[in-house]
């Protein structure tokens, strides 16, 4: 980064500070991960300079022979990985991908049946503060006391309201979904079936959990999180929806695609096809189960009963008499990054909720396994219980740094 260092020292210093923070700290935010150096190189490539409105073979500007190569490679690799009929790799991220689908398939006022945010859903699945909720009518379903989705109740509601789309997927739900039941309910009420796999795409690509693509009409995802790629999105769909989706992406919602990002997506997708990616995905599940078991041992209340994916959601307020915000700050002090999170029907506010969401994809990427996860759980408990004891927090922080140095992220990045 010699050119950046010379031209803009303030930005250079901030990047170096972030590199140090990531190298010496533990990312346990469920939606974060570390990309490879190859992905970083593609993301920072000269494709940053190129405008490429349209699609391979159908561009509006000239000079597209190499942009067509990378976008075609990204599409073919994604099809091989997820076995989808049609894939659009241009969405800038997950939220735009969902909005693009709504725009393609819905009219203002149409109904969507999606998961409640406090029960694990995502903002773009119909939370009142979002733009989609101002255009379309979202009805939200919840989980039961056992932490599972009541599919009989879901079908009952679907038959009553007759939604245009039935939407599966989540941002903090820790159980696996019954794809067949979602698909069956959608067919019974004449709805389009859609699933947002942003959080579990890497687990699906690594064959650690089953693939929902054959069961749903529309599948959206981010390309970061468990998939371990650049920050971006993708939309997969059945052939009959392909034209509407592509038109909604461009020119409907976006202008020129970010070709440097698509190049990085293509690199990531090739990495996800490697046998080592399957080992990584399986290890994520193992690590999450160990984290759940250890946190339960320390007295944390595990939401939704258990985890079956890459994260756990804990109620720290009832478990440790500490709000999620305060617990997050305490863990930040020891170099463990998590995020405060609402729990089902949380009585507290979203900015200071009752829960913490804790994920293991990033530490798994670093090579940490069951032994290290047990230690991490111990540190989480100790930091929260000693959150006002700076001496203890400093001691934990030193131990965290020492472990992180044994599992470096980037060996050649400076």
Given the residues 116, 196, 294, 382, the one annotated as active site: 196
Is position 225 annotated as part of the catalytic site?
yes
Alpha-carbon span 258 to 127, nearest angstrom = 28
Alpha-carbon span 91 to 112, nearest angstrom = 21
Q: Write down the residue that tokens 């690799």 correspond to.
A: 77
Is position 27 annotated as part of the catalytic site?
no
Given the residues 24, 53, 85, 150, the one annotated as active site: 53
Adjacent-strand bridge partners of 54:
59
Is position 215 annotated as part of the catalytic site?
no
Is the separation of the CB atoms in 375 and 150 below 8 Å? no
Q: Which DSSP letter does residue 149 get?
A: B
Is position 307 annotated as part of the catalytic site?
no
Given the residues 59, 77, 164, 225, the one annotated as active site: 225
Given the residues 50, 142, 231, 301, the one annotated as active site: 231
Given the residues 67, 143, 222, 223, the one annotated as active site: 222
Given the residues 12, 51, 55, 410, the one annotated as active site: 51
Is position 53 annotated as part of the catalytic site?
yes
Decide: residue 190, CB within 10 A, 0-12 exposed, 13-18 middle, 19+ buried. Answer: exposed
Tokens representing residue 321 in the block: 């008499």
DSSP codes joined into one string, 214-255: GG-SEEEEESSGGG---S-EEEEE-HHHHHHHHHIIIIII-S
Is position 222 annotated as part of the catalytic site?
yes
E strand residue ranges, 285-405: 301-302, 311-315, 336-337, 339-341, 355-359
Is the separation of the CB atoms in 256 and 40 below 8 Å? no
Alpha-carbon span 39 to 194, nearest angstrom = 29
Catalytic residue IDs = 51, 53, 196, 222, 225, 231
């Amino acid at each position: 980064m010699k050119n950046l260092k010379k031209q803009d020292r303030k930005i250079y210093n901030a990047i170096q500070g972030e590199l140090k923070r990531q190298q010496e700290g533990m990312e346990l935010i469920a939606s974060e991960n570390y990309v490879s150096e190859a992905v970083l190189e593609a993301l920072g490539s000269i494709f940053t300079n190129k405008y490429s409105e349209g699609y391979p073979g159908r561009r509006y500007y000239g000079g597209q022979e190499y942009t067509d190569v990378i976008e075609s490679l990204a599409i073919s690799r994604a099809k091989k990985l997820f076995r989808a009929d049609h894939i659009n790799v241009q969405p800038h991220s997950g939220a735009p991908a969902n909005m693009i689908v709504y725009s393609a398939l819905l009219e203002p006022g149409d109904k969507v049946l999606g998961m409640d945010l406090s029960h694990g859903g995502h903002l773009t699945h119909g939370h009142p503060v979002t733009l989609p909720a101002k255009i379309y009518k979202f009805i939200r379903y919840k989980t039961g006391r056992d932490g599972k989705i009541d599919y009989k109740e879901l079908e009952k509601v679907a038959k009553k309201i007759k939604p245009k789309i039935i939407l599966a997927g989540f941002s903090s739900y820790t159980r696996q979904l019954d794809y067949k039941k979602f698909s069956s309910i959608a067919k019974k009420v004449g709805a389009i079936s859609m699933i947002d796999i942003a959080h579990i795409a890497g687990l699906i690509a690594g064959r650690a959990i089953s693939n929902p693509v054959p069961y749903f009409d529309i599948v959206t995802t981010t390309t970061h999180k468990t998939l371990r790629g650049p920050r971006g999105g993708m939309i997969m769909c059945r052939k009959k929806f392909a034209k509407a989706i592509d038109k909604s992406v461009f020119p409907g919602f976006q202008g020129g695609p970010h070709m440097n990002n698509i190049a990085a997506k293509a690199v990531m997708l090739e990495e996800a096809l490697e046998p080592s990616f399957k080992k990584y995905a399986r290890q994520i599940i193992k690590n999450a189960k160990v984290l759940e078991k250890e946190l339960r041992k320390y007295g944390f209340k595990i939401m939704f009963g258990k985890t079956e994916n890459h994260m756990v959601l804990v109620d720290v307020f009832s478990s440790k008499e500490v709000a999620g915000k305060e617990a997050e700050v305490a863990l930040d002090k020891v170099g463990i990054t998590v995020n405060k999170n609402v729990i089902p029907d949380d009585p507290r506010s979203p900015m200071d909720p009752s829960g913490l969401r804790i994920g293991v994809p990033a530490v798994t990427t670093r090579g940490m396994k069951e032994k290290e996860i047990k230690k991490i759980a111990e540190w989480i408990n100790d930091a929260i219980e000693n959150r006002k004891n700076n001496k203890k927090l400093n001691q934990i922080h030193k131990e965290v740094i020492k472990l992180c140095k044994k599992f470096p992220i980037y060996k050649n990045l400076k």
